[in-house]
Copies of this chain bind each other. A is one copy, B any other.
């Protein structure tokens, strides 16, 4: 396997305001691409909402091993057809990493089957992300916890299906907890939700956060497991016709359990 192809998708609307542009002059996608690029292990592209087809043409999606998704205020601007294609690609094996407010994006909600809301506030509170599953590959080379001096606060109840694997739990100074690193398998693909990354904080310039993203990319990459046969399927064993020679009446299913 050569280098993984990683596509970083960003709504890229907040960054048009000066206060946010000052933090992410090249957009959140630019920051993530720059930081992940330092590992030298991935072919990294970016895509944004206002590009044609949201930057997610068939050609792009078909050559994406792992898609990273950040969105917030324009989830409904992503056309259903694009969201559906993202879901389909994920079910077909593409890794999907959903960041922060992307929990309310169309692809994530559709793949989860739930509403995915939570508590939240913007209050410059401290977040401490605890590793609770150090044996998980996404915990690789991390410290016991990552402390973010200021982030947006999210709080449980987070309306998600029980994660297949829960890697992180966040503590917030305002009194809440949050399941911050949630792993799912869906179809042939894997989905990872990671909580931090509000646009008003330079979270994506951090090396520890970037390390999580790198680990998540490595974990979410296509597994190349068997593509299952589906639909009508011939018996693998010779089960014969146990009812050969019997009258219709004898074969009547109704009589089975008399």
Contact = CB atoms under 8 A, between A and B. Distances in A.
A57 interface: no
Nearest to A186: B114
A34 interface: no
A60 interface: no
Contacts of A121: 232-235
B91 A114 contact: yes
Contacts of A165: 162, 164-165
Given A128-B175, A201-B253, 15 more contacts: A123-B239, A124-B243, A125-B239, A142-B225, A143-B226, A144-B229, A149-B256, A150-B253, A157-B226, A161-B161, A162-B185, A164-B165, A170-B177, A171-B176, A175-B235
A77 interface: no
A142 B234 CA distance: 21
Contact of A159 (B114, B166, B230): B230
Interface in A165-182: 165-166, 169-177, 179
Interface of A: 22-23, 91, 93, 110-115, 117-121, 123-125, 128, 130-137, 139-144, 149-150, 153, 155-159, 161-162, 164-166, 169-177, 179, 184-190, 200-202, 205-206, 223-237, 239, 241-243, 252-254, 256-257
Nearest to A95: B135
Contacts of A114: 91, 111, 186-187
Nearest to A206: B257
A22 B164 contact: no
Nearest to A144: B226
A176 B236 contact: yes
B157 A134 contact: yes
B253 A134 contact: no
9 contacts: A112-B113, A123-B235, A131-B157, A133-B225, A135-B223, A136-B225, A156-B228, A201-B256, A202-B256
Contacts of A231: 117, 119-120
